[in-house]
Amino acid sequence: MAIIHAFSIDVEDWYQSSFDLNAPVSEVCVHNTRLVLDFLAQHGVKGTFFIQGMVAEAYPHLVREVHAEGHEVQSHGYSHRPVNMMRPDEFKRELEETSKRLEDITGEPVTGFRAPDFSIDGDSFWAFEVMYEAGIRYDSSVFPLRTSRYGIDGFAMGYSLIKTASGDIEELPVSVLDMAWPGGGRIPVGGGGYFRLFPSWFLNYSLRKLGSQGRPFIVYCHPYEFNPGEWRQIARHVPGLRRLHQGLGRRSFRRKVSGLLKRGGFGTMSEVLQRLRAVASQGGTKN
């Protein structure tokens, strides 16, 4: 089956990345990522793993496992600090540190990046110049819909080129749907918490709708979403309301993702980009 959609994983430790940036990455992250590897192996799917530098530093063997399984390894930054909260020199150091660690482990260049929490906004487009200087050639950091936490209203929903003084960065955002009915608008459907909240029928509808528009379904997930029992493994105190919010929908998460993968055509970000380049060269890019 032709690769037309992308499956990607942001490899991070929930407690460190979402609750305490000063905490170390734990073994729970390793366990959760292996759940994803097993899940993808069962479905015969190769995806893109955007791996956080702190994870690579603490558990280089995990990066080797991901690479050995034939998945694409790219950068998710180092500390999970938001890009729009860093200075350009800080961001550059994080990019270079993460790329070096990943490249030393896999022996392959790091050319792709996804920012923590989609934290490139309208005021931080300077980040693309820094990316290019650090060897990044494609990005999936801009959320093409404004939410309370991130995103840019009106940004292209599909493949586009970001111009910098040094060269172009290919941008491939995670998927949103543009609902055409009166009062409709863009709806996030690309994964993560949205997969946990939306019913399977709507996710399957999204896959069909994007396909009918000639758009790839760009999916992102986190390892911890595949582990509904994670709270029993986290010894540190996490408030009950936070646990409820983050745990909602985890038990049905695998089933929903499995349903999508069985409908076919999922591969790596680079495979989808290769196809989109061919379409763009023929003047057929859709945004």
Nearest CA-CA partner of 161 in 276, 268, 74, 49 = 276
pLDDT, residue 89, reads 96
Does 208 have pLDDT greater than 80? yes
Share of the chain above pLDDT 90, in %: 63
pLDDT of residue 109: 97
Domain hosting 273: range is 5-281
Residue pair 8/218 in contact (Cβ under 8 Å)? The answer is: yes
Check if the beta carbon of residue 56 is closer than 8 Å to that of residue 94.
no
Whether residue 286 is contained in a domain is answered as no
Predicted pLDDT at 282: 75
Q: With 0-12 CB in 10 A as exposed, 13-18 as middle and 19+ as buried, what is 159?
A: buried
Burial of 278 (0-12, 13-18, 19+ CB in 10 A): exposed
For the segment 189-196, the average pLDDT, to the nearest whole number, is 86
pLDDT of residue 31 exceeding 90: yes
Query: Is 229 inside any structural domain?
Result: yes
Q: Cβ–Cβ contacts within 10 Å for residue 182, how many?
A: 5
Categorize the per-residue pLDDT at 158 as very low, low, confident or very high, splitting at 50, 70 and 90: confident
- Looking from the CA of 150 toward its CB, the CA atoms found within 13 Å total 18
Phi-psi sector, 104: left (phi>0), alpha (psi -120 to 50), beta: alpha
In terms of pLDDT, which residue wins out, 251 or 36?
Answer: 36
CB 117 within 8 A of CB 78: no
For 89-114, give the DSSP string: HHHHHHHHHHHHHHHHHHSS---EE-
- Could you tell me if residue 241 is inside a domain? yes
pLDDT of residue 284: 57
Question: Domain for residue 287, yes or no?
Answer: no
Is residue 148 over pLDDT 80?
no
In sequence order, what DSSP letters do the residues of 116-181 get, joined into one string? GGG---TT-THHHHHHHHTT--EE----SS--SSS--TT--SS-EEEE-SS-EEEE-PPPEEE--S
Q: Residue 33: which CATH number?
A: 3.20.20.370
| Domain-located, residue 87 | yes
* DSSP assigned state of 203: H
Average of pLDDT values for 134-141? Answer: 97
pLDDT tens across 87-110, in order?
Answer: 999 999 999 999 999 999 999 999
Task: Determine the Cα–Cα distance for residues 48 and 127; give it in Å rounded to an integer.
Answer: 21
Q: How far is CA 35 from CA 58, 108, 170, in A?
A: 18, 24, 30
pLDDT at 50 over 70: yes
43 lies in a domain? yes
Q: How far apart are the first and last CA of the chain?
A: 24
**Residue 286 pLDDT greater than 60, yes or no:** no
For range 188-205, the mean pLDDT: 88
Asked whether residue 188 is domain-assigned, the answer is yes
In a domain, 76, yes or no: yes
pLDDT over threshold 80, residue 232: no
What CA–CA distance (Å, rounded) separates 218 from 209?
A: 13
Mean pLDDT of 181-210: 85
CA angle 229, 232, 236 (to 5 degrees): 130
For the chain, helix (H) and strand (E) counts, in that order, are 11, 11
Mean pLDDT confidence for 162-189:
86
* Number of separate domains in the chain: 1
